[in-house]
Amino acid sequence: MPWHSLAEAAEAVRTRVVSPVELTRLCLERIEPVDRAIHAFASVDAARALKEAQTAEYEIQGSRYRGPLHGIPIALKDNYDTRGIPTRNGSQVFASRIPDQDATTWERLTNAGAILLGKTTMSEAAWGVDFPPVRNPWDVRRNPGVSSGGSAAAVAAGLCFMAMGSDTGGSIRIPAGLCGVVGLKATYGRVSRAGILPHTWSLDHAGPLTRSVEDAALTLRVIAGHDPRDQTSADVPVADYLSGLKKGLHGVRIGVPREHFWERIQEGVQPVVRQALDDLAAAGAQVEQVSIPHMTTALGAILVTEMASVTAWHDKYLKQPERRAKYTPEVRALLDAGKFIFATDFLKAQRLRRVLVEEVRAAFASVEVLATPTLPLCAWKVSESHVEIAGQAEHVLHACWRFTYPWNLTGLPALSLPCGFAEGLPVGLQLVGRPFDEAMILRVGHAYEAATRWHERRPPEPVVGAR
Amino acid sequence: MTSAPLEPVANLAGYLLPEADLAKIAALLEGVREDIQKLRELDLHDDVEPILTFRVEPWT
């Protein structure tokens, strides 16, 4: 049962094959031993989870079934505000922070009947090089990816049926790719960020990590939609993401960017993703090349945007000596460095974003979806800060977001799903859609899953104490 | 404490930055300098205005 998809678990709850209390107990009993090796959870509140599950059980027994999330145990990244429950943003600076209001996404998930198991581990303030202790379930000597690594590891290890993450440059899709699960970043403005601790205002997205594309669609249906609490929330009608899921790939045109996404990529990763493109074509899609010329020069744009923005948000804490001292030296230095980003560079970055948006729009003129690798590398060892890619040593953080950040700069919806393995480690395929056309990338992702079944592979049981 | 020639740089932050912290900042900025330089060297058309309030609209 812990390996069931959210959709399968939901059906079992609806038909009363399993009760929410039984399901929650199963997760809690699995978390206890497995999380000793994975460290996916920053906190677990078993008593609260069981109480919520009991309530859900009474409601369902009383024929008050709320829908597929009702009675389903889930987790939230430690930057989602939860009323009365510590929300620490992965940082000692916020160690005693207890919000008095829920994040809108959690409020919507609560209203849908979801059960909160706990908060997942994240890198400090979703920033920096000081990795948290969370490990990759496929190999506990390796990193699960930043910054929603705890959420991805929890889903990959069968500790919950869905976990929410946040994504500023790839922080949902990177850990999804490295842990062999599905990660969805919807269009900028599609999912409310109200009550999620900000990182970079113009790049932040919220979204789910799941074990199947259908589960991501089920979750998006609950959390999507306009929210007056979020100034960037888009008032655009929400589609029924499930009704089109099984339409298949016939007539769907998929573009593969010529530039950027196939340069400096680990030897074992490229053939796996190329095979995925062949599989999409074999399943009925028309795959063709497209061009986005400025993609190769966009790294500077996200660097200056993110460095300046995250520092601007943390400025009030950096000024307080007692709070400042609670950042790790690495993150404090990164935040300080943001003070020295020039406004001229920031403005150039925002000009480049306009050019990129127009070029991407032109690339979409002949296709409905773009497909790329999610990452140029597989999960690295926790002891490694650099990896060799195409004969060149590169910092892992520099490498890992190379294929994901363009879709934060442009705000387009992007989905990562498992597409195979390189040297025994998961590889992710990234699908990118037109604005607010999450339905299309979910449809293509679901068809790919049906054709390949990579999403059904499970990691070995983790070994506590492996180094 | 920050040595006199570096003090104006440290003051730019708006809070006290010891010299050891400045050295770390310098190393980090050096790490991103090449990518920022590429951004600076981009020759964008004069009429391209910066996006100052980022929003995504449906494409018609």
E-strand ranges in A358-453 read: 369-373, 386-389, 392-395, 414-422, 425-433
pLDDT value of residue A203: 98
Phi/psi at A382 (nearest 5 deg)? -65, -20
CB-CB neighbors (< 8 A) of B12 in chain A: 339-340
SS percent in chain A: helix, strand, coil, step 5: 40, 15, 45
Among A125, A143, A76, A446, CA closest to A285:
A446
**Residues in A 400-439 with any Cβ partner in B closer than 8 A:** 411-412, 434-436
Q: CA B27 to CA B19: how far, in whole Å?
A: 13
CB-CB neighbors (< 8 A) of B17 in chain A: 336
pLDDT value of residue B48: 98
The residue-averaged pLDDT of B37-56 equals: 97
pLDDT value of residue A137: 97
Q: CA A155 to CA A170: how far, in whole Å?
A: 17
Select from A232, A340, A396, A401 the residue whose CB has the most chain B CBs within 10 Å, as the one to mutate to test that interface.
Answer: A340
pLDDT value of residue A133: 84
- The distance of Cα B39 from the centroid of its chain, to the nearest Å, equals 12
In the annotation, is A147 catalytic? yes
pLDDT digits (tens, 9 = 90+) for A121-156: 999 999 866 566 899 999 999 999 999 999 999 999
- The distance of Cα A395 from the centroid of its chain, to the nearest Å, equals 21
Q: A72 to chain B nearest CA, in Å?
A: 32
Q: How many pairs of residues across A and B have Cβ atoms under 8 Å apart? A: 111
pLDDT digits (tens, 9 = 90+) for A95-119: 999 999 999 999 999 999 999 999 9
Quickly tell me which residue has 């090796």 as its tokens: A37
CB-CB neighbors (< 8 A) of B49 in chain A: 351, 354
pLDDT digits (tens, 9 = 90+) for A359-383: 999 999 999 999 999 999 999 999 8
Select from A191, A348, A364, A412 the residue whose CB has the most chain B CBs within 10 Å, as the one to mutate to test that interface.
Answer: A348
Torsion sign, CA atoms A272, A217, A258, B41: negative
Q: CA A144 to CA A164: how far, in whole Å?
A: 15
Rounded CA Rg of chain B? 18
pLDDT value of residue A1: 80
Q: In this structure, is residue A436 part of a structural domain?
A: yes
The least confident of A125-134, A434-443, B24-33 is A125-134
Residues 6+ apart with CB under 8 A from A2: A26, A27, A30, A158, A159
Q: In this structure, is residue A316 part of a structural domain?
A: no
pLDDT value of residue A191: 98
Interchain pair B55, A303: CB under 8 A: no
| pLDDT band with cut points at 50, 70 and 90 for residue B14 | confident
pLDDT value of residue B10: 77
Q: Which residues pair with A349 in a beta bridge?
A: none
Q: How far apart are the first and last CA of chain B?
A: 58
Looking at the structure of chain A, the number of domains it has is 1
Interchain pair A307, B32: CB under 8 A: yes
Domain that holds residue A160: 6-296+347-456
Among A439, A444, A440, CA closest to A429:
A444
Residue A467, pLDDT above cutoff 60: no
Interchain pair A189, B55: CB under 8 A: yes
The residue-averaged pLDDT of A165-189 equals: 98
pLDDT value of residue A167: 98
Cβ-based burial of A226 (10 A; exposed 0-12, middle 13-18, buried ≥19): middle
pLDDT value of residue A184: 99
Strand order in the sheet with A163-167: A41-44, A115-120, A73-77, A163-167, A205-210, A182-185, A414-422, A425-433, A369-373, A253-257, A286-290
Residues 6+ apart with CB under 8 A from A23: A1, A9, A12, A13, A53, A71, A72, A73, A115
The answer to whether A352 contacts chain B (CB < 8 Å) is yes
The partner residue sitting opposite A202, judged by closest CB among B29, B54, B59, is: B54
pLDDT digits (tens, 9 = 90+) for A50-59: 999 999 999 9
Catalytic residue among A123, A151, A166, A171: A171
Mean pLDDT of chain A: 96
Interchain pair B54, A353: CB under 8 A: yes
Quickly tell me which residue has 């796996």 as its tokens: A272
Q: In this structure, is residue A144 part of a structural domain?
A: yes
CB-CB neighbors (< 8 A) of B2 in chain A: none
Residue B1, pLDDT above cutoff 70: no
Q: In this structure, is residue A437 part of a structural domain?
A: yes
Q: In this structure, is residue A309 part of a structural domain?
A: no
Residue A465, pLDDT above cutoff 70: no
Q: In chain B, where are the structural domains located?
A: 1-60
- The distance of Cα B40 from the centroid of its chain, to the nearest Å, equals 11
Phi/psi at A411 (nearest 5 deg)? 75, 15
The answer to whether A72 contacts chain B (CB < 8 Å) is no
pLDDT value of residue A131: 61
The partner residue sitting opposite B42, judged by closest CB among A234, A297, A361, is: A297
User: CATH code at A419?
Assistant: 3.90.1300.10
Chain A, nearest residue to B9 by Cα: A340
The answer to whether the beta carbons of residues A300 and A406 sit under 8 Å apart is: no
Query: In the numeric block, which tokens belong to residue B42?
Result: 């981009």
Catalytic residue among A77, A151, A166, A309: A77
Q: In this structure, is residue A330 part of a structural domain?
A: no
Q: How far apart are the first and last CA of chain A?
A: 29
CB-CB neighbors (< 8 A) of A339 in chain B: 12-14, 25
CB-CB neighbors (< 8 A) of A236 in chain B: 58
pLDDT digits (tens, 9 = 90+) for A313-363: 999 999 999 999 999 999 999 999 999 999 999 999 999 999 999 999 999
Distances (CA, A) of B2 to A326, B7, B9, B19: 21, 6, 9, 5
